[in-house]
Amino acid sequence: MEETNKQIRYCQWGLANFYDNYIEINEGLKENKKVRDWIVNHEKGHKNSFDIGHELNILGMPISLIWFFITHPRTWIDLSPIQHKNKIFLYDLNLIILYVILSIVGYFAWKVYLMIF
């Protein structure tokens, strides 16, 4: 993995995002060094290509990150695969594929449930 020296910017909405020139993280994480450092390292690990394995790798994730996500509703926007920023629409291919996979699994789980009961 190549090391990136991207500028860190703070935002009010979302948890974290990786852009070409900078990494954006929630301003509420300024005080939580452990979670902020984990997120910055995770975002630096992104490449410009699709990598769902990287998104699902949660090894070493601090439990306090989950608590932060739950208690800060403005971070929930990251669960949306399509976002609007600076008058353009952005899409997250990782989330779109993840939601498609979960929908297919859910569909077949429902079919199995109906066959059993």
Nearest to 70 by CA among 100, 98, 35, 94: 35
Q: Say yes or no to pLDDT of 2 above 80.
A: no
Stretch 66-77: mean pLDDT, rounded? 88
What would the pLDDT profile of 50-69 be if each residue is shown by its tens digit? Answer: 666 666 677 778 888 889 88
pLDDT of residue 56: 67
DSSP 49-87: S--HHHHH--TT--HHHHHHHHH-GGGGGGG-SEEEETT
pLDDT of residue 105: 96
Q: Which amino acid is at 78?
A: D
Is 21 a residue whose pLDDT tops 60? yes
Residue 3 has pLDDT above 60, yes or no: no
The model's pTM = 0.62
What was the pLDDT predicted at 51? 67
pLDDT band at 101 (very low <50, low <70, confident <90, very high): very high
